Amino acid sequence: MRRISVCVAAVLFVGAVAVVSTTAAGASRTAAKKPIVIGIATAQTGFIAAFDKPAVAGAMIAVSDINKSGGVLGRKLKVVTADTKSDLNLGTQAGLSVISKGADVMLVTLDFNYGGPAARVAQSHGIVAVSIGASSPKFGVQGIGPLAYTIGSNGDVEAYAEAEWAYQKKHWRTAYLLLDDTTDANRTQCSSFETRWKQLGGTIVGQDTFKNTDPSIAPQITRIKGLAKAPDVIELCSYPPGGAVAVQQIRQQGINGPIIGNDAFDGDYWYQKTIPNLSNFFYNESSSIFGNDPSAKVNQFWKKYAAATGSKPQVSFGAFGYTAVQALALAIKRAGTTKGTAVAAQMNKFKNEPLLLPTTFTAKLHIDTHRAGRIMEIENGKHTVAALAKVEEQPPLTP
């Protein structure tokens, strides 16, 4: 009887294990089919939407491409969104909103100040957040936490590259700094350009500030024209629309010398009607949207972008959005999970990863500092790639 009881117990145990195994397998299959949710907490309205929306369009193209290829870990990518309305006070709310909708990872605004609140929410919930273009190295361990990254190019590096190109290739020696003191990125551009310019032996012959909302920069122009000798180059640290107004007024006042801007001056929408034959204007960009980028892969992307959106690209931020989704997908695939710490561990190993925009991260630096930029030149209203710019001297990490 005892032997029979043991046999019966064994059969019951095996049956129970089989039931548990079947249940676990079913749960595993269900989890495998569950989509990986990307929460996009960005500006859909307000002034930053002009920059965020193209980046999000690029991200959506990447989601489509990856899903057509089978998704990640056998799971499709799904997008949920929330609008920050370009309001610093709504970033936290937007981050919480996409998390409530099931976000496994998050994409946030392409500025440290405006993207930071949502990224901090992601950090507190153990979720990796990637900015679709912030240029500050503070968007990471230094300013937010170990689960925050930016796919943007380092603003300090871009400004150093501008200074090196202007001094070494164009042989300019005097510069005037014109700072639109409204964003962290603008301040970084001017301060880093000044640092590298002086290291190279260049001279800053003057500097001035204005606000993006100023209808006129007449006093600043008067001071530039009052210099004993015109500067070889004006470093303009601003963005449209205020930056566009500044360029228009500078040219109207007969100052036709070189002006160097930043990637916010990409495209031709900001000067076509007011300065259609704009010349002698330069800016450092991560890729060219005009079909003349040195990378065939980049040129192909912009064709796909135009087809998907129904219009030619106006700014290059779409490439950041596409690359951000690629980066998350690759890290999740290598980690085998969407768990924040595991995904971050894989992203920290990125070394010149061949994404749309090559990307390198380390455990201490969650922004690429090695990516070669394109010095774009506008001459008679047309854009060309004047040079590839990769810094010789790395700037110190912004605290």
320 found inside a domain = yes
Read off the tokens for 247.
Answer: 């360029």
113 found inside a domain = yes
pLDDT at 8: 35
CA angle 237, 243, 247 (to 5 degrees): 100
In whole angstroms, what is the distance from residue 116 CA to residue 122 CA?
10
CATH code, 162 = 3.40.50.2300
Angle between helices 317-335 and 340-347 (to 10 degrees): 110
- 269-279 burial by CB neighbour count: b if 16+ within 10 A, else e? ebbeeebeebe
pLDDT at 26: 46
* Residues of the chain falling short of pLDDT 50: 1-30, 399
Number of domains in the chain: 2
The amino acid present at 187, given as its one-letter code, is R
Indicate whether 310 and 360 sit together in one domain.
yes
19 found inside a domain = no
Closest C-alpha to 255, from 283, 238, 278: 278
Read off the tokens for 105.
Answer: 């990872």
Other CB atoms within 10 A of residue 168 CB? 11
Read off the tokens for 43.
Answer: 């500006």
pLDDT at 287: 96
68 found inside a domain = yes
pLDDT at 183: 84
105 found inside a domain = yes
63 found inside a domain = yes
Indicate whether 280 and 382 sit together in one domain.
yes
Indicate whether 319 and 346 sit together in one domain.
yes
Contact 148, 123 (CB under 8 A): yes
Indicate whether 240 and 379 sit together in one domain.
yes
> What are the pLDDT digits (tens) for 48-97?
998 899 999 999 999 999 999 999 999 999 999 999 999 999 999 999 99
Q: Which domain holds residue 173?
A: 156-285+374-389
Closest C-alpha to 336, from 87, 72, 76, 101: 72
In whole angstroms, what is the distance from residue 171 CA to residue 155 CA?
23
Closest C-alpha to 316, from 219, 385, 250, 236: 385
Indicate whether 114 and 229 sit together in one domain.
no
Indicate whether 277 and 307 sit together in one domain.
no
Indicate whether 46 and 93 sit together in one domain.
yes
24 found inside a domain = no
Indicate whether 145 and 178 sit together in one domain.
no
> What are the pLDDT digits (tens) for 89-144?
999 999 999 999 999 999 999 999 999 999 999 999 999 999 999 988 899 998 99
pLDDT at 15: 45
Indicate whether 299 and 355 sit together in one domain.
yes
Indicate whether 166 and 147 sit together in one domain.
no
Q: For the whole model, what pTM was predicted? A: 0.86
Indicate whether 279 and 161 sit together in one domain.
yes
Indicate whether 165 and 245 sit together in one domain.
yes
| Backbone torsion region of residue 11, taken as left when φ is above 0, otherwise alpha when ψ lies between -120 and 50, otherwise beta | alpha
9 found inside a domain = no
| 198: three-class secondary structure by DSSP | helix
